[in-house]
Structure 1
Amino acid sequence: MPGVSPLRPEDPRRLGTYRLDGRLGVGGQGIVFLGVGAPGGPVAVKLLRARLDDTSARRGFAREIEAVRRVAPFCTAQVLDADLDGDRPYIVSEYVDGPSLRDHVAAAGPRTGGDLDRVAVGTATALAAIHRAGVVHRDFKPGNVLLGSDGLRVVDFGVSRLADATVTTGNPMGTPAYIAPEQLEGRPAGPAADVFCWALTLVYAASGRHAHTGDTHMAVMANILYGTPDLGPLTGTLRDLVVACLAPDPADRPDAGQVLSALLDRARAGTAPAALGHAAPDGTGSERSGVHETGIDETRIDETGTERPGHDATDRAGGRDGRRVRVVAAVAAGLAMAAVVAVMAVLAAPGVLRAPAGRDTGRLGGTWTGAARFPSAGRVFPVEIRLAEPARMRWGADLHCSGRLTRSGGTDDAPVLTLGQVRGDACYPGRVSITPQGDRTAAFEVTRAGEGGIRYSGSLTRTE
C-alpha cells in the first residue's frame, strides 16, 4: 500500500489481537501502524505515547472514546477498538486508503473551483458532526483530512484530552501553524478552536501555503497572536467567511453548523458563501517558500520531524455564545452596507485629511499592529503603531515599551519617524521607517538611536 513504511526494529509486531504490518506515520501523540484484525481487513492502530497509570484517567478516556463512537461515520474514520490498560495503550480505527489533504496539495497543487468547494463542505460537515456528538477535535489541520476513494474523512480526533492530562511541559496541544489563539494563551479549547483551524486548513487547500509562517515555532505562534494571516487567493465572500472564522475572540466566530449553512446557501445561490463576522484584512503576508517552511508545516517537534494522520478520539464541546448567532443574522445587512462603509472609511480615515504642518505622520494614518523580529536576540514580539495624533508606538513582549512618534523624513506615503519620549524597562529611542505594501499592510524597520544598522523589523496591518 502507498504511504506505508516498514516496521523498525523497536516497533511491536502485535498489539492485542492486531498484527502490525507497517508504519503509516508518526506524530506528537504516538505512532500509527497499518494493522490487520481478526476479520482480515486493514485497520489503523495508534500506539499512544502517553501512559494511563491512573484508574480515573483510564475511565475518563474510555468515556471520551465512547463519545467519539457516536460521531456520524460518513465523514470520519470510526473508532473500532481500544485498549487503555498496560504500558502500551492503543486505539484502533478504520483505515482510509488515500492521501492526506496536505500531501495531495503538496503533490498536485492547490484546490480550486468545485474541488475547493468539496473540501470546504466536506470538512465543515465532518466538524459539525464531531461537535454534535459532544467532541472537540483540537488538532484540525490538512494532515488530518484524508481523501479516501469513498470521500473525504476527518481523522485523528480524541487523543488530545489524554495528551493534555499526561504532558507536563506546558506546551499547547496542536501543531504550530494550526493552533487557535486561546490555545496559545493556555485557555480551554472548545469547538470555536476547531472552527479557527478549519479556516486555516481551507487557506492551505486554496493556496498550498500556510496562513501563518515564521522562522521558528515561537515566531509562528507570535504571528498567530499578533500578525495577519496570508489568505492567499481567497476572494469575495468566501474570504469573508474564512476571516469570520479567524476572529481572535472565540465568541465572535460562527460555529461549524453556521459555516456549513453558509456554504450550502452559496451552493444553492451559485455564488460565494455568505460573509460572516468582521471585514477581512487585506494583508498578503510575506513571500512563502512552500509547505515545508520551518515552523509552519504540519509537523510537531518529534524525533522524525514529520507527521502522518492517525485516528483517535476525545474532549467535550463547550457552549455557544449568542454573539455568533447574531453574526449570521447580520450578514445581509453587513453586505448591503459594505460599499457605503468603505467610502465613509476612506473619507474619514486619519491622514486622508492632512494633519497640521509639523505634526504630520504621512498619509498612512490609523492604528497598525503586527509582529517584529529581533534576530540578534532571537525574539519575536508584538508592535502597535498609532499614526493619528498623538502618534505613538508600543512594543515588547507585553507592549510594555511606549514612545512618541514625530515625522523626521521620508515621504507622505513612506514616512520616517523619530521615536522619542520612550518609557519602559530596556526600551530605547530610535528611528522608525514604514513602507506600505498594500492598502492595509506595511513593512517597518527600527534603528536604535546611535546605531547604524536595523535593530528589528516586521510587518504591520491596519486595524483602524
Structure 2
Amino acid sequence: MQIAPLSPHDPTELGGYELLGRIGHGGMGQVYLGESPGGEPAAVKVIKPSVVDSETRQRFAQEVEILKTIWGARIAALLDADPEADRPWLATEYIEGLDLSRHVASHGPLPSLLTASLGATLAEALATVHKQGLLHRDLKPANVLLGPNGPKIIDFGLAVFAESSVSLTAPNTVVGTPSCMPPEQANGEKPLTPAVDVYALGAVLLFAASGHLPYQAANIHVLFHQVTDPAKTPDLSGVPDELVPLLTAMLAHQAQDRPALDDVVKQCRAVIEAQGFKVAQARRRLTSHTAAPTQLLDSLLPPAEAPTVPFSPAGEPEAGATAEPPAATGTGIGTETTRVLPPTGPGRTPTLVDHPGPQPEAAGARGPAQIPPSAPTADTGRAPSPLPAPGPPARARGGRPRHSAQARITAQRLREAYAVSATF
C-alpha cells in the first residue's frame, strides 16, 4: 500500500506533527505519515472518534506506557504521545521500506545466509525486550520492517509484561495472529513466557526462507486446530537443510522444548560462519538485499507541471514574465511501497479476527511515480536515486511557516491528487 492522500475529514496536524498522508489503517484507528517541526518523519497513530471511549483510552494509554519502556537498536522508537487528547494519538519512528511479507511476495524467499542473519538480528532484539520484562506476543512478517539500516520490529500493541496475569483483554479470548501463534497462546494459557516469541520468530524465519507459514488453512477454526494439535507438525517444505534443525526446535509444540533466544543467535551464527562469512558481513548483505531504494516524500506523486514562461520572437521574456527557465520536472524514486503499520493495536476487538496468514500485495504493485532505472552503483548494486529539483520555500495558510518546504510540497500534491480522484 502506498501513501494515500488525506481525505477532507482527516486532520492536518496533531500534537505539532504535520500530517502528510495515510500509511495504514485498522478497525480502531488510522496511521498517518507525519513530520515534526524539525523535519523528523513519524508514523502517527490516531484512534477513530467513533470508537473513543473509556476502555479504548485505557488500552491506548497502556500501549503508550509499554512503548515508553521499550528500547533497542532494532525496535521502532516511540517519539511522542497524548492518550488524553480528544483524538488520542501516538507517534513512532517512521521506517521507510517494505515489511517482510511484502518483500518476500515481491522478491521471493531469502537465501539461508540472509535468513540466518535476520534470525540473529531479531533474536537479539527480542532478547532485549525480554530483559525489560516484556513479551511482544504478535511477531509476524508484517511486523518486521526492512529499513535502510536493517530490520526493525514494530507494533507492540499486544505486548504484555512477562509472567503477569494483569491484562485488559477479556477472559476466554485469544488475541494475535493465529498463523504465527504458539499452541499455548492459541489455547489461551496464562501466564505466557518468552517461549511464545521464540515460536513466533521461528514462524517468521520459516516464512523468510520458504515463503509460507507453519500452518495454512482457509478456515480459521481449522487453522487453530492445526496449531494446537500436538500430532500436527509444522510444514517446513522449501526450507534450506542447514536451517531445518533450528526451525524445528523453535516451532516445537511444547514451550520447554524451544531454545532460548541466546541459543537462537548462536545457531544462526553457526549457519553464517559455515558459509565463510562473518556475522557483520551477513548483516550488511541482508540490508543491501532487502532495503528499498530511498523514497523522497515529494516523489510519491507526479510533480505538478512547472509554469511556462512566454518568450517573444527575439528570445526575451515577455513583459511581466519571470526570466528564469522552468524547473526540471523529473521524479524521484517511487517504485517500492512504504512503511504501513499493520492493523493491530491495543484497541482492536479481542476476538479471533486475524486472517490465516499474511495478505501481501500483488508482487507487481508499484508506486504512483515510475522512472526508468539508472545504472547501479559499484558499492551496492542498486540504482542511485535521482533528486528532484528543489522548489521555492512556501508558507502555510495564514502565513504560518510549514515545517519544511518539502513537507508543504508533498502535502499539497497529495491533496490535489485526492481532489482529482474523488468521486464527489
TM-score, normalised relative to structure 2: 0.58
- What pairs up with 1:323-402 in 2 under 5 angstroms? none
User: How far apart, in 2, do the equivalents of 1:80 and 1:312 lie?
Assistant: 19
Letter of the 1:65 counterpart: L
Paired position in structure 1 for 2:209: 206
- Unaligned runs of 5+ residues in structure 2 are 278-338, 347-424
2:174 is aligned, of 153, 168, 172, to 172
Among candidates 209, 221, 224, match of residue 221 of structure 1: 224
**Aligned partners of 2:17 and 2:276: how far apart in 1?**
48
Greater strand content: 1
The answer as to whether partners of 2:178 and 2:186 remain within 8 angstroms in 1 is no
1:46 aligns with 2:45: yes
| Counterpart mapping for 1:277-316 below 5 A | 308-309=340-341
- Do the aligned partners of residues 160 and 30 (structure 1) sit closer, same or farther apart at CA in structure 2, a change above 3 Å counting? farther
CA RMSD of aligned residues (A): 3.2
Q: Contact between 1:97 and 1:148, CA under 8 Å: does it hold in 2?
A: yes
Q: Is the 8 A contact 2:174 2:186 kept in 1?
A: yes
Q: Does the residue aligned with 2:146 lie in a helix, a strand or coil?
A: strand
Q: Which deviations, in whole Å up to 9, do the C-alpha atoms of 1:305-349 show, x marking residues without a partner? A: xx94359999xxxxxxxxxxxxxxxxxxxxxxxxxxxxxxxxxxx
Aligned counterpart in structure 1 of residue 264 of structure 2, from 245, 259, 264: 259
Point out the more displaced range, 180-189 or 46-55: 46-55
Q: Distance in 2 between matches of 1:191 and 1:48?
A: 29
Is the Cα–Cα contact under 8 Å of residues 6 and 21 in structure 1 kept in the other structure? yes
1:112–1:13: structure 2 CA closer, same or farther, 3 Å change rule?
A: same
Residues 385-412 of structure 1: CA deviation (Å, up to 9, x unaligned): xxxxxxxxxxxxxxxxxxxxxxxxxxxx
* Alignment check: 8 A CA contact 1:30 1:46 kept: yes
Are 1:81 and 2:86 an aligned pair? Answer: no
Q: Which amino acid aligns with 1:190?
A: T
Partner AA of 2:246 in structure 1? L
Matched, 1:34 2:39: no
The one-letter amino acid paired with 1:251 is Q
Question: Separation in 2 of the partners of 1:53 and 1:212?
Answer: 37
CA contact 2:117–2:272 (8 Å) conserved in 1: no
Q: Does 1:195 align with 2:198?
A: yes
User: Residues 265 and 113 from structure 1, CA distance in 2 versus in 1: closer, same or farther, beyond 3 angstroms?
Assistant: closer
1:62–1:26 CA distance, 2 compared to 1 (3 A): closer
Contact persistence 1:32–1:310 (CA under 8 A): no
Q: For 1:251 and 1:87, how far apart are their aligned partners in 2?
A: 45
Between the aligned partners of 1:87 and 1:231, the Cα distance in structure 2 is 48
Return the letter of the residue paired with 2:268. L
Tell me the residue number matched to 2:116.
117
* Fraction of identical pairs, as percent: 33
Letter of the 1:142 partner, please give it: P
Distance 1:210 1:30, change over 3 A: farther
In 2, Cα distance between equivalents of 1:81 and 1:313: 17
Between the aligned partners of 2:133 and 2:66, the Cα distance in structure 1 is 9
8 A Cα contact 1:79 1:311, kept in partner = no
- 1:148 shift after superposition: 0.8
Checking the alignment, whether the CA contact within 8 Å between 1:25 and 1:31 is kept in structure 2 is yes
- Verify the 8 A CA contact 2:76 2:154 in the aligned structure 1: yes
SS in 1 for 2:221: helix
Cα displacement (A) at 1:32: 2.0
**CA shift for structure 1 position 106:** 0.3
Q: Distance in 2 between matches of 1:196 and 1:88?
A: 36
Shift of 1:158: 4.1
Kept after mapping to 2: 8 A contact 1:21/1:34: yes
* Higher RCO (CA < 8 A, seq sep 6+): 2
Contact 1:27 1:308 in 2 (8 A): no
Please name the residue that 1:233 is paired with: 238
Partner of 2:247: 242
Structure 1 residue 128: deviation in Å? 1.8
Compared CA separation, residues 198 and 29, structure 1 to 2 (3 A)? farther
Pick closer, same or farther for the CA change 1:28–1:191 going to 2, 3 Å: farther
Distance 1:62 1:109, change over 3 A: closer
CA distance in structure 2 between the aligned counterparts of 1:78 and 1:28, rounded to whole angstroms: 23
Distance 2:226 2:264 in 1: 25
Match of 2:69, as an amino acid? A
Structure 1 CA distance, aligned partners of 2:173 and 2:276? 41
1:41-96 deviation per Cα after TM superposition (whole angstroms, max 9, x unaligned): 2101122467573798677555423211xx21x21211111211145322211110
Write out per-residue CA displacement over residues 212-270 of structure 1, whole angstroms, 9 at most, x where no aligned residue: 11112222211111232111222445211111111222222122222112212343444
Residue of structure 1 in register with 2:186 after alignment: 184
Pair 62,111 (structure 1): closer, same or farther in 2 beyond 3 Å: closer
Q: 1:249 to 1:48 in 2, by over 3 A?
A: farther
